[in-house]
Amino acid sequence: MKRIAVLTSGGDAPGMNAAIRAVVRTGLGYGWEVCGVRHGYAGLIAGEMDPLSARDVGGVLQRGGTVLGSARSPEFETLEGREKALRSLNEHEVEALVVIGGNGSQTGACRLSEMGFPVVGVASTIDNDLVGSDITIGVDTALNIALEAIDRLKTTASSHHRAFLVEVMGRRCGYLALMAAIAGGAEAVALPEVETDPEALATELHAAYLRGKPHALVVVAEGATYNAEGLAAYFRDHKDRLGFDLRVTTLGHVQRGGAPGAFDRILATRLGGGATEALRRGESGVLVGDIQGEIRTTPLAEVVGKQKSLDPWLIKLAGVLAK
């Protein structure tokens, strides 16, 4: 193999740059040329790619976001779009592609690999919804950012006897919300995996008020039955019953923007290095992930269209600890 390419796709995740750097430098180490594709699949279709040197990926390890840029490309979801992408890969004499991204991006990677092109995926999304990696790039940093916000909100909530609904990202997966609730000592959590009963939640908050809690913090996953605004609208109609004064904070993209912590830099470096190693072994059509502490590959066909489930024991534990 002489030339490979690497791209980042979907939502950016802190640590993506460390993964790009690892792919580039390990690829160069094998004597390959490594092209960086700009703006995800959109850039692939448009042929926006150039060879990267070891220097080109210097100074990026500690930066959040992705230096290659990312994009959502509806065109790549069509066969025509993917055929254009294949033509552009062939024109640039690229023999294999590394796709750093989440669920949607790995679905795209799988479709491309089904068309006969060698692709290896790297598990990268703050949602942690990818089957094939226990933990994905960006989750740890996003979680720490959410925790910092929760700690601060608790301080102000206690001073004013308030309840805060804090909405965290995660799409249809409640991993970030559940972990933020456990590590942040939240009074309650609303998850997409469990039907939210606003009436039960209101009763729970009122009970916390009667127990003398100075604050009540509810972590709400963006994909829960009711998002934070929806729950707040319900609670406003029942204000007298809650006891607490109510505020809503949506963390949104703040969670993505941080500099990657040590865990994500190391995970991304291991997975990036694992991707080029897999290609060198002749593997393709696989996702590189961390399974029980080891770098493993899982066929993309077994990854796409699946949703990682939450540990029911942890959901139960969160409820018990909230007392």
Catalytic residues: 127
Q: Is 104 in the site for ligand ATP (CB under 6 A)?
A: yes
Binding to ligand ATP (CB under 6 A): which residues in 155-174? 171
State whether residue 89 is helix, strand or coil: helix
Smallest gap from Cβ 102 to ligand ATP, in A, equals: 3
Of 89-97, 104-112, 114-122, 154-162, the segment contacting ligand ATP by CB under 6 A is 104-112
Smallest gap from Cβ 180 to ligand ATP, in A, equals: 17
User: In 190-199, which positions are buried (b, 16+ CB within 10 angstroms) versus exposed (e)?
Assistant: bbbbbebebe
Compute CA 122 distance to the chain's CA centroid, rounded to the nearest angstrom.
Answer: 12
Residue of 162, 186, 154, 171 lying closest to 221 (CA atoms): 171
x/- map, 33-62, ligand ATP, by CB under 6 A: --------x---------------------
Of 106-114, 146-154, 188-196, 309-317, the segment contacting ligand ATP by CB under 6 A is 106-114
Handedness of CA 70, 167, 175, 193 (dihedral sign): negative
Q: Is 103 in the site for ligand ATP (CB under 6 A)?
A: yes
Which of 48, 127, 187, 290 binds ligand ATP (CB under 6 A)? It is 127
Q: Is 227 in the site for ligand ATP (CB under 6 A)?
A: no
Whether the CB-CB separation of 9 and 70 falls below 8 Å is answered with yes
Q: Is 308 in the site for ligand ATP (CB under 6 A)?
A: no
Nearer to ligand ATP, 49 or 188 (CB): 49
Residue 31, number of CB atoms within 10 A of its CB: 8
Which of 56, 77, 148, 277 binds ligand ATP (CB under 6 A)? It is 77
Smallest gap from Cβ 290 to ligand ATP, in A, equals: 17
Residue 116, number of CB atoms within 10 A of its CB: 9
Residue position matching structure tokens 């709400």: 220
Smallest gap from Cβ 158 to ligand ATP, in A, equals: 34
Residues 6+ away with beta carbon under 8 Å from 121: 98, 99, 100, 101, 105, 106, 109, 110, 275, 286, 287, 288, 300, 303
Which of 108, 192, 273, 274 binds ligand ATP (CB under 6 A)? It is 108
x/- map, 83-102, ligand ATP, by CB under 6 A: ------------------xx
Q: Which helix (H) or strand (E) holds 122?
A: strand 119-123
Nearer to ligand ATP, 66 or 107 (CB): 107
Smallest gap from Cβ 74 to ligand ATP, in A, equals: 6
Smallest gap from Cβ 72 to ligand ATP, in A, equals: 3
User: In 43-61, which positions are buried (b, 16+ CB within 10 angstroms) versus exposed (e)?
Assistant: bbbbebbeebeeebbeebb
Number of residues that bind ligand ATP (CB under 6 A): 19
What values do phi and psi take at 220, rounded to 5? -115, 120
> Which residues are at the interface with ligand ATP (CB under 6 A)?
9-11, 41, 72-73, 76-77, 101-105, 107-108, 111, 125, 127, 171
